Each structure stands twice: as C-alpha cells, then as structure tokens.
Amino acid sequence: MAVRLKSLSSVPVLSYHSYPSHPFPSFSKTSQFRVSAAKMATYEPQKKTSIPTKIIDSHLHVWASPQEAADKYPYFPGQEPTLPGNVDFLLQCMEEARVDGALIVQPINHKFDHSLVTSVLKKYPSKFVGCCLANPAEDGGGIKQLEDLVLKDGYHAVRFNPYLWPSGQQMTNEIGKAMFSKAGELGVPVGFMCMKGLNLHISEIEKLCAEFPSTVVLLDHLAFCKPPTNDEESLAFSELLKLSRFPQVYVKFSALFRVSRMPFPYQDLSHILSQVVSSFGANHVMWGSDFPFVVPECGYKEAKEAVSLIANQTPLVIF
C-alpha cells in the first residue's frame, strides 16, 4: 500500500509549549519532542480540529548586523558573516512565507557568546526558541554554561558540533558524555551536525544514544546524507535509517540545498524522504530552512515551497 505525504503547510501542531500563547512544542522528557510541530504524513483524511495550524521552521540562524556587531554583539574573530542574517531580515522572510515560528540555532559567527541570540529570544518569546552551542572545553566549563543557558536563559536544545572538540577527541569523551547526559536531565534535545559525513560520527552517536536513552537526538540536515551514488554513500544512508532503532532520534529534513544533487525544487530528495519517513515515522521528521544560507540558494519562501512539493509527490510505502 502506498500513500502520499501531505504538505507541511497543511498539517497541525501536535503538542504545545507550556505557555498557552507559545507556538512551540514542549521539549520536556514527559512529552515527546516535536520541534517540527507537525506530521509530515497521514494515513487517513484529517478530521477537523480546533487546534490551529502552525508552520514551524526547525532550523535557522540569526546573527548581528554589522552595526550591532560594532555596538554590542561582536562576531567571533575569523567568523565574520558574508551574508545578512539579522532578525529583522528573518522576520520579513518568515512573514512572506507564512512561517509562524522557529528554532534558532546558535551560529558559529558568535561561537559560544550567546548574547545576540538570547536578546532575540527575549524580544520575541512567542515566535522563537533557542538551541545553544555546546562548548566541549576540557575544563568542563561548557557543562555549567549549558545548564545556565537552559535554566536561566530558556534555551530548549543544544547543538553538538564535533569539529569543536579538542583535536584527537570525540563527542564520547568524558566532557561529551557529561553534556549529553546533562541535556537529558534538563529535558532538552541534542542536535548533531555531521557536516563532513555521518560515517565519521555514526559510532559516537550510537554510543551516546545507547548509553543515555533519555536524551532526545536531532540529526541536522538529514545527517548530511545525499542521494547515494556509490557504495560508501549507500552505507552512510543505511546507517542513518538504522538509527531509527533508537526511539529518541529525530531527523531534520532541512537545508535541502546542502543535500540535494539537483537545483530547486530538489526533487531528487523524494525517495530519500520516503525512506526516512518509512523508517522513523512521520512524527520523527521535521522541516527546516537553514536561513540565512538558504536565501541566496533558492529563497526562504521557496525553501518552504520545495519541501511541500517534495512531500506531495513522495510515495510512502506501508508494510
């Protein structure tokens, strides 16, 4: 039996944050993580519901404008952005695309200085939630920073960038395990950025998932798995699908321009999406734009349109 995936823009939010006016799902351990806030597929016609439809972007960044950087929120040296990513530009794009809210991932442009993103979260508490960046410094200071960012500044997720770990060390070192465990205790998911290939980090992710099953996991940008063209890529994609054996793992169908081999609207990802949803389940897959990087690639509004086009043409096989 095969059904077609529904457009992201036509599906409802499943669970809300504890604040009644907040469009975001709760990230606590007691309610399953739903950063997508929407089913990407349905097996029967949706029934009418009083729950309003919300479109949530599960992955984007903001950084200071040049003026803001000069006045208050400096860029990390050597990480000055090459394109605009200020919040006013983001809000303009979201309004045009009719996107209701988003998860802001701390950008490398400010590295471990979260003050700019924190200011945005405080200014727009009903529109954004934050994902902080894990600091794997050997002195362990990143563990306390993570706790403070969650408990004091209200961040709801944390990103593990394996390329920030000290040379020769892995995310499964003592500091990595402590931060991963702490994330579970705090009820916030850990996002993995496998930019150089899932095959380089799959064993670390598997070990952390197995040892700390209460920590929810997000795989950014399909774990950087492109449609396979050789045995090595096929193996990596197979490893991605096998991560579905861990119930705490979710996949971001995000930054399509990074993982597609075709131009907009990236329709070579149709079969990839079908397999991911079939393996993980619709409630474990979420859309993300990767603003502002997506803007010069296809445009923000077009990024949302692309995922809708792909979802609408994607067959989902049910066994």
Share of the chain above pLDDT 90, in %: 81
CB 165 within 8 A of CB 196: no
pLDDT of residue 53: 83
- Look at residue 268 and tell me whether its pLDDT is greater than 60: yes
For residue 32, name the pLDDT band (cuts at 50, 70, 90).
very low
Residues 6+ apart with CB under 8 A from 85: 61, 62, 63, 107, 109, 291, 292
Count of domains in the chain?
1
Mean pLDDT of 175-195: 98
pTM of structure: 0.87
pLDDT of residue 12: 26
- Look at residue 313 and tell me whether its pLDDT is greater than 90: no
Top pLDDT among 172 and 1 is at: 172
CATH number at residue 140: 3.20.20.140
pLDDT of residue 52: 73
pLDDT of residue 31: 34
- Look at residue 202 and tell me whether its pLDDT is greater than 80: yes
Mean pLDDT of 164-180: 97
- Look at residue 23 and tell me whether its pLDDT is greater than 50: no
Looking at every residue in the chain, the average pLDDT score rounds to: 87
- Look at residue 291 and tell me whether its pLDDT is greater than 80: yes
For residue 50, name the pLDDT band (cuts at 50, 70, 90).
low
DSSP string, 236-298: HHHHHHHGGGSTTEEEEEE-HHHH-SSSTT-GGGHHHHHHHHHHH-GGGEEEE--BTTHHHHT
pLDDT of residue 78: 97
Domain residue limits at 265: 2-317
Top pLDDT among 9 and 94 is at: 94
* DSSP classification of residue 119: H
Q: Which of 28-37, 107-116, 212-221, 310-319 has the lowest mean pLDDT?
A: 28-37
* DSSP classification of residue 231: H
pLDDT of residue 317: 53
pLDDT of residue 160: 98
